[in-house]
Structure 1
């Protein structure tokens, strides 16, 4: 097993990150600027995806997919009775877990502060003056 497999930033991770720069009151969702991505098929677990859907800010996920040029791969809204909609769950699974952001930036929507993504790892550390 390769440890790096788990270090890649996925859109599920992006959906849960926010900017904590001092003075920022609206640091979510971070704007995704990906310069390198990778797609890798992983095992589909419909129960896991169904449990994650209520925790996902769907509009932020759709926006991230748009930034990646993949808006056509995901519905604009959560499907009614999504728990039983296998097509919807497959699309959500692909967007949340099979797209890795290897390089780029996450940008605070309020301050414009860029958090670099390198080798699939977002660097969310703040400078002293930002704490």
Structure 2
């Protein structure tokens, strides 16, 4: 599961008011090469919750993203390459996503998060 996906997931358990961002429990991270596309990154930048991306990338062992950003950073190739790597090339292969409010664990196996709810959570 890419951090791009993680940045758009939230816990949908009945009664949860703050299900974002899901915390990561990391067992295995895989890096997969992806073609660099600056236009894609520029378009995604405004849609990304930056703090959630930074926290998730650090949980996966990647600490090269700055704590805060500003749009002018998109003019830097160095910044774009770090953003690209964190967003698209780091994959949570094994682990779990954890609801920040309830602590409910959603397993991630072979890079696929299982976000199915139990009957009493719907």
1:85 paired residue among 76, 81, 98: 76
Secondary structure at the aligned position of 1:103 is classed as strand
Between the aligned partners of 1:58 and 1:51, the Cα distance in structure 2 is: 14
In the alignment, which residue of structure 2 is the partner of 1:128? 119
- Aligned-CA RMSD value: 1.0
TM-score, normalisation: structure 1? 0.89
- Where does structure 1 differ by over 4 angstroms across 4 or more consecutive aligned residues? none
In the alignment, which residue of structure 2 is the partner of 1:20? 12
Instruction: Confirm whether residue 29 of structure 1 aligns to residue 21 of structure 2.
Output: yes
Unaligned runs of 5+ in 2: none
TM-score, normalisation: structure 2? 0.96
Is the 1:34–1:68 Cα contact (8 Å) retained in structure 2? yes
Residue 75 of structure 1, CA deviation: 1.4
In the alignment, which residue of structure 2 is the partner of 1:65? 57
Aligned length: 122
Unaligned runs of 5+ in 1: 1-8
